[in-house]
Structure 1
Amino acid sequence: MRYRLLPALVASSALRASAAPSASSDSAETYDYIVVGSGPGGGPLAAELARAGYSTLLIEAGGDEGDNPTYAEIPWFNEAANDELTRWDFWVKHSDDPEQDLKFAHTTWDTGDGTFYVGLDPPEHAKLLGIQYPRAAVLGGCAMHNAGVCSMPADDDWNIIVNKTGDTSWDAKNMRKYLMQIERNEYLPPGAPGHGYDGWLATSIQDSSWARNDSLPDPDEAADLVNRDLLELDDKADETSSFYSMVTHADARGMRASPNNYIRATLADPAGYPLTVKLHTLATRVLFDPATVGVDGVVPRAIGVEVMEGPSLYKADPKHVKGTKGPLKQFHAKREVIVSGGAFNSPQLLKLSGIGPRDELAKFNITLVKHLPGVGENLGDNYEGSILAMGSAPVETGLITLLFRTPNAPNKKRNIYTWCGAFSFEGFWPGFPTYHGPTQYSCAMVHLAPKSQAGSVRLVSADPQDKPEINFRFFEHGGKEDLAELVSAANILREAINAAGEPVAPLVEKHPCPGGKDEKCTDEAQAEFFKLQAYSHHATSTCAIGGDDDEMAVLDSKFRVRGVAGLRVVDASAFPVVPGAFPSCPTMMLSVKAAEDIIAEAKKQE
């Protein structure tokens, strides 16, 4: 398959300079706080700090597409994720075995003639790119190009931080208040327990009137099942297998709700909150007080950031023009620098700034500020896969969401999140997804609580415009068990799909068992399929919170970078484990918790 590459934008002469000038700290702009990255971690945090009266600079490498219907309207999420206007392409690995990765059906190649080739039989001389992992460089971050699913982690995913650090503020019952703080619920009557109605993040559900179709055996029961609240407050929720509504961070009209809205509302508020946003600004390193670096007994202190100004400067941007650089500039922070670049870019920026594994930094002649071996390690993600079948007629239903426990799950907790409907979702590649025709039907699966977090984000150079090397090392630990759970889920869903009556039946499966399960499609064969074709898009945990006794811990429970003053990381990289099925809403909750912690600390110092 071939896909067009958007011709690169013509760069201005200023941006074509072969070498950027040295940044000068003279008359550098100064703020109380500097936040790098405007996604689910950094965006709400910056707005909260400014609303608390602290001058805050928010730095974003992309632009603002809040008024662009492709991003503002949730139904266009596939187009948003493919859009070169904001897309950053990371080409990742799934394992240390290059031959295994080359079996991924949607491996992508650069043909050299302005197109991508996607598949297993590339044309001669095509350059291997790898497995696409799109991110969004835009005000609001990846919450602007995702499908907007809003779900809660299992209680254990919050409580693990309590167990690691002793900080009881991370207790799952306490964390619920942050959902209530940010949520503006539009699908339940006012006063539903565990929900908020006055926040900046609209939540809604899809129309489920299709479930009252008189042709169903019990339309009232069916409607009740698919309308169950996915975000319900229930102590037994993590052990409950059930159908649910799919909650999205969007309003009832389908308009996306994200940090973009909150940032823009903060900027426009008549109160004149001291928030400054710098768009098209690439952070290149965190600045440290030179009197505190390399001095025995002195804790290094972050005092600002250096940036490169201009659009499409990062090489993950498909619009980047080779050799393009921008002028360097410095900003200073009186209080703190907060890195919120996400699971790929936060560890990269820390390493470029001298914080990370000693040997890796020495390899690129980066001056060591603090040896923290956990920076860029512990990369985790949900395993994802799907059953795809073709019916004899189009399936006339909406999306059906189900959370359930497979019989081989390691404990009583549910371990699969699935949604089924007339769509296809088989991973990511330029131009995804494939439309298989009007009778396509899929059950897409997200595996909860994966056992392996063996991935890494590592530098390839000291150039801040270069992308890091990203390897997820799927199934490195506990892989046999995780694959068995995916296969068990597929078998359960296959039985459900095949129970469909006329005129939809019979359905002919395309994968993981082409033609249907028979003697050729054993559990072992399905496990091999998922091992090679699983995909993901919920990267977390590369700057993980941990206890004082954990040498791989990067942050303490208040998001402070260990062994460094004036520096925190607030985004999905802070989670010690993958938080549930979808990290967007949990990261926004984490963000407002961080704001609460930071503001409380600032008040004590005043």
Structure 2
Amino acid sequence: MNKNNEASEFDYIIVGAGSAGCVLANRLTADGKHSVLLLEAGPKDTNLWIHVPLGYGKLFKEKSVNWMYQTEPEPGLNGRQVFQPRGKVLGGSSSINGLLYVRGQHEDYDRWRQRGNAGWGYDDVLPYFKKAENQQRGADKYHGTGGPLPVSDWRHADPLSEAFVVAAAETGIPTNPDFNGATQEGAGFFQTTTRRGRRASTAFSYLRPARKRPNLHIETSALAQRILFEGRRAKAVEYKQEGRVRTVRARKEILVSSGAYNSPQLLQLSGVGPADLLKQYGIEIVLDAPGVGNDLQDHMQVRLITRCAQKCTLNDVVNSPIRRIWAGVTYAALRKGPLTIAAGTSGAFFKTSPRLASPDIQIHFLPFSTDKMGEKLHALSGFTASVCQLRPESRGSLRIKSADPSVPPEIRINYLATETDRRAFIDGIRILRKILAAPALKAYAVAEVDPGLKVQSDDELLDFCRRTGSTVYHPTSTCRMGNDPLAVVDQRLRVHGIGGLRVIDASIMPDLMSGNTNAPTIMIAEKASDMILEDAR
């Protein structure tokens, strides 16, 4: 015990209370046998907008709950820096994200297994997706009920979003009622991590039920400074809270769940990383691990904006005081209406080439339009459909810029660095344009506002991508799992060459999966919890 009469030793210390950390905190304390400390750099999740689905727009640039990172100037995007919001609050990015529940393709996980990661094929991970889930539609071969995470259908009838699905079918893209079922390909509605019209972050779904357990201790506004080692075994975490540095010891293991940016940053600050980088900042080298911060991947999106013939978009609601009040009252009374809109209402997954085994493009359809996500909606009636390439070949890196933990790291993603990536966007935009011109959308689509139909050639389309492309907020793979010299963790998520230390979050993904990353991150933490408890026995 230290002089504040707080325990300074726990069985497990979890660094980061995000999509993975909250899952671990719940599962590792459930049997009452292990004491767990959960450290979160941000505050409690009391901000009102966290709990309203459409509130993600308000949290986009809200410093109190958001790391607000920026990339370095991106060569493939005309030297632009790309804003990278990440959750800094209980629930992490699951408290500020777009709420879409998308698992990716069966093939993604089989590819992980084929790369030597035994136990990570689709058949291995499906039970953990089901275990996490409380599926509104009921249980079946692909879905579970009774898990902590509510997965729900959208609670607002929107003719525009429905017309998009019909338009896709008119161009030959099959209608798919479940992107997370037998196959991902097709057009349909996204499901969301919501419960009765409210956001279900992991802080809500996993941490809240566990908070009263005497063996779980949660510290907020606690920024991890570094991990302390005895030889090559992780033994303690130093964290800063209210200006004071505290040290806590782990009897069993330290679990780093700080996300694809903060996990490699913490390892590097602690002396586990590329030796040349650590020397540069005078950090004592515990282990020369060149893969830490390597292989950064992210999904990029390019958004097409269309002027709408009817005043049925969210722009029209927001720009009309009466309709805005109606939307607020509808939400307050029924938890329905426009305030339940996630970062995609309907969408599609398709192949840009028949040669491909599975879809390489995801479309997010949204019944509103804006110049930049998180900014004011347009005065015109407009809607957005964005093209996202699912499996980019481009790779980047995450490297510390200082030995000071409060200095943001250097983020390089290298969007559009390969010909495959550039081609996918050009072809993806052409296919999306066909959908937007299909008969079902004729009653709505007046004209393409951005980029506008004057932009037609491959070079013009690529230039549009370079000028306007931005992130879909899915960074991964900076502490990736594998057996090769640049892999950071093994198939049980233990850091190679170090004892008592695991990384458990999206950074361990061997490569970016084909879809949104929140559901897979929760699955990873569910699976990791079982492995940790097995190893403890």
TM-score range, shorter chain: 0.7 to 0.9
Structure 1 stretch displaced more, 278-287 or 255-264: 255-264
Deviation string 1:460-479 (CA, Å, 9 cap, x unpaired) is 11111111111111122xx2
Q: 1:25 to 1:217 in 2, by over 3 A?
A: closer
TM-score when normalising by structure 1: 0.77
Matched with 2:228 is: 287
SS of the aligned residue for 1:507 comes to: strand
The answer as to 2:367 corresponding to 1:418 is: no
Counterpart of 1:161 in structure 2 is 112
Change (3 A) 1:39 1:214: closer
**Residue 246 (1) aligns with residue 205 (2):** no
- Spell out the pairing of 1:148-547 with structure 2 (5 A cutoff): 148-167=99-118, 169-186=119-136, 188=137, 190-207=138-155, 209-210=157-158, 228-232=177-181, 234=182, 237-238=183-184, 240=185, 242-268=186-212, 272-289=213-230, 292=231, 300-310=232-242, 326-395=243-312, 401-408=346-353, 411-424=356-369, 427-428=372-373, 432-452=374-394, 454-476=395-417, 479-499=418-438, 504=443, 507-512=446-451, 514=452, 516=453, 518=454, 521-536=456-471, 537-547=473-483
**2-side partners of 1:348 and 1:365: how far apart?**
15
**1:203 alignment partner AA:** V
Range with bigger deviation, 354-363 or 415-424? 415-424
Tell me if structure 2 keeps the 8 A contact 1:71–1:256.
no
Q: Can you list the C-alpha shifts for 1:89-132, whole angstroms capped at 9, x where unaligned?
A: 112135358x9224xxxxxxxxxxxxxxxxxxxxxxxxxxx432
Deviation at 1:591, TM superposition (A): 0.4
RMSD: 2.9
* Structure 1 gap ranges (5+): 1-22, 103-129, 293-299, 311-325
Within 2, Cα distance between the matches of 1:339 and 1:177? 24
Tell me: CA distance 1:24–1:445, structure 2 relative to 1, closer, same or farther (3 Å).
farther
Structure 1 residues 378 and 497, CA gap change in structure 2 (3 angstroms): same
Give the Cα–Cα distance (whole angstroms) in 1 for the partners of residues 287 and 199 of structure 2: 44
Q: 1:84 aligns with which of 52, 63, 69?
A: 63
Aligned equivalents of 1:338 and 1:303: distance in 2? 11
| 1:63 and 2:7 correspond | no
- 1-side partners of 2:40 and 2:352: how far apart? 45
Give the direction of change, closer, same or farther, for the CA distance of 1:389–1:448 in structure 2 (3 Å limit): same
Alignment of 1:21-32 (within 5 A): 29-32=8-11
**1:94 and 1:378, CA in 2 relative to 1: closer, same or farther beyond 3 A?**
farther
CA distance in 2, matches of 1:185, 1:354: 43
Single out whichever of 488-497 and 359-368 deviates more from structure 2. 488-497
1:501: how far off?
7.0
**Matched letter for residue 75 of structure 1:** L
267 and 524 in structure 1: CA distance in 2 versus 1, 3 angstrom threshold? same
Q: 1:349 corresponds to which letter in structure 2?
A: L
SS where residue 206 of structure 1 aligns? Answer: coil
Query: Which whole-Å CA distance do the structure 1 matches of 2:143 and 2:275 have between them?
Result: 45
Q: Which amino acid aligns with 2:536?
A: A
Q: Which moved more, 1:578-587 or 1:419-428?
A: 419-428
Letter aligned with residue 470 of structure 2? Y
1:101 match: 79
Instruction: Give me the whole-angstrom Cα distance separating, in 1, the residues matched to 2:7 and 2:485.
Output: 36
Q: Point out the more displaced range, 414-423 or 176-185.
A: 414-423
Partner of 2:402: helix, strand, or coil?
A: coil
% same residue: 26
Q: 1:584 aligns with which of 485, 510, 518?
A: 518
C-alpha separation between the residues in 1 aligned to 2:9 and 2:405? 23
Alignment CA distance shift 1:209-1:62 (3 Å): closer
CA contact (8 A) 2:44 2:220 kept: yes
- Inter-partner Cα distance in structure 1 for 2:165 and 2:234: 64
Distance 1:577-1:151 versus aligned 2 partners, 3 A rule: same
CA–CA distance in 1 between the matches of 2:109 and 2:4?
A: 41
Give CA deviations for 1:400-421 in whole Å, capped at 9, x if unaligned.
5233323436512111111323
The equivalent residue for 2:324 is none
Cα separation, 2, equivalents of 1:527 and 1:90: 26
Separation of aligned partners in 2, 1:527 and 1:136 = 31
Is 1:139 equivalent to 2:90 in the alignment? yes
